[in-house]
Amino acid sequence: MANAELGPDRGYRRRVAVTGLGVVSCCGIGKDAFFAGLNGPAPAGEHRVRDFDPSLWFDAKEARRVDLFAQFAVAAAEMALEDAGQLDVDPALAGIQIGTGVGGLSTMEAQIGVLLEKGPRRVSPFLVPMMMANAGGATVSMRLGWRGPCETITTACASGTHSILAGHRLIATGRCDAVLAGGAEAAMTPVALAAFGNMTALSTSGQSRPFDVRRDGFVIAEGGAVLVLEELERARARGAHIYAELLGGASTADAHHITAPAPGGAGAIGCMELALEDAGLTAGDIAHVNAHGTSTPLNDMAEADAIDKIFGRPGPLVTSIKGVTGHSLGAAGALEGVACALSIDRRLIPPTVGLEQQDPEIHLDIVREAPREWEPGPVLSNSFGFGGHNGCIVLAPLSG
């Protein structure tokens, strides 16, 4: 098989390139604005995507019938495709993997209000297709006419990372030649904000401070991001710009608690170890870890313990972009996948904004205060979600 390597499972698999990036975030829309935002201060106030203009992708009638999370998915997918250039792919070999944590929650909440105030006959007939978690990927598929696997992974805050990993598998095994992979979320509704607040998950200070001794919860955010994944030799043959190679990854479950991580980061440790094995690397090969780093007391500590146990001290450079992006739930891992690809391509690691007083119990080499220039090497990106879902992917500069 051309352009194939013997994988850890002893089966042959094709190599996977990242050739396009699209992003919608509270710190910037489009890859350039997004990366500039990661290297600046945290946005003031709520972490909504304030400058999003749906008319760039939808006419007025369409926009009324597509929930905001799905609009983010379409916008990110179309930006990623434009970035990738002339991607002439057989529609039957073109897949879509776009995850979300909750799907069309804003539509659901609004229509419950309609039901209570005006009765069942006034509930919108578009409620079901707008609230479906799979609406983001389905809308992208119909727009493009891509007929390969179109699937939605919903594993809470690991959804975006698991979707990228699923896209990798589709290409590596030969099922697809190209995949749009990522996540989208727009869950900042009154009920969601109240629920997260009442479970004490949100920061009462309104600041995301990953790994800081004063961290007191996450800052919820909106966002969406999509990566174009492509079989490597195909990408080379058409002269595509290759941001990074997606080497592999892993998925595990803590099987411990619906919201709290396993003690000592046991689940995270297993997932990271399997991701390294799948990528054909050892711990010493990793140059940078893009941490999940949500700014919650338990999760940051568990992840820090896990990184410490696998990589030792001082270990690789670590950053969390959630000090700027906030936590966009099912889209978070996709935003972080884009950040990793850009960090490799632009030879610059964004800082962990909000980290001023590092927790003395956290012994990581964290990039803080300013971006860090580096010689790009393999990057491990972590995502850990409610329900005990763990997802890790490994990206690296293209070699060979």
CB 225 within 8 Å of CB 25: yes
Statement: residue 376 has pLDDT above 60: yes
Given this model, what pLDDT does residue 10 score?
40
Statement: residue 5 has pLDDT above 80: no
> Mean of the pLDDT values across residues 310-332?
97
What is the span of the domain harbouring residue 348?
4-396
pLDDT, the chain, mean: 95
> Mean of the pLDDT values across residues 53-67?
96
Overall number of domains in the chain: 1
- For residues 101 and 120, give the distance between their C-alpha atoms in angstroms, rounded to a whole number: 27
User: Would residue 292 show up in a list of annotated catalytic residues for this protein?
Assistant: yes
* Residues 91/101/289/378 CA torsion (nearest 10 deg): -10
Q: Can you give the pTM of this predicted structure?
A: 0.96
Which residue is catalytic, options 271, 327, 340, 389?
Answer: 327
pLDDT digits (tens, 9 = 90+) for 241-265: 999 999 999 999 999 998 888 888 8
Which of 191-195, 235-239, 256-260, 388-392 is predicted least confidently? 256-260
pLDDT digits (tens, 9 = 90+) for 299-316: 999 999 999 999 999 899
User: Would residue 157 show up in a list of annotated catalytic residues for this protein?
Assistant: yes
CB 181 within 8 Å of CB 353: no
pLDDT digits (tens, 9 = 90+) for 86-107: 899 999 999 999 999 999 999 9
Which residue is catalytic, options 168, 288, 292, 389?
Answer: 292
The CATH code of the domain that includes 280 is: 3.40.47.10
For the chain, what percent of residues have pLDDT higher than 90? Answer: 93
pLDDT digits (tens, 9 = 90+) for 163-207: 999 999 999 999 999 999 999 999 999 999 999 999 999 999 999
Which residue is catalytic, options 150, 157, 271, 340?
Answer: 157
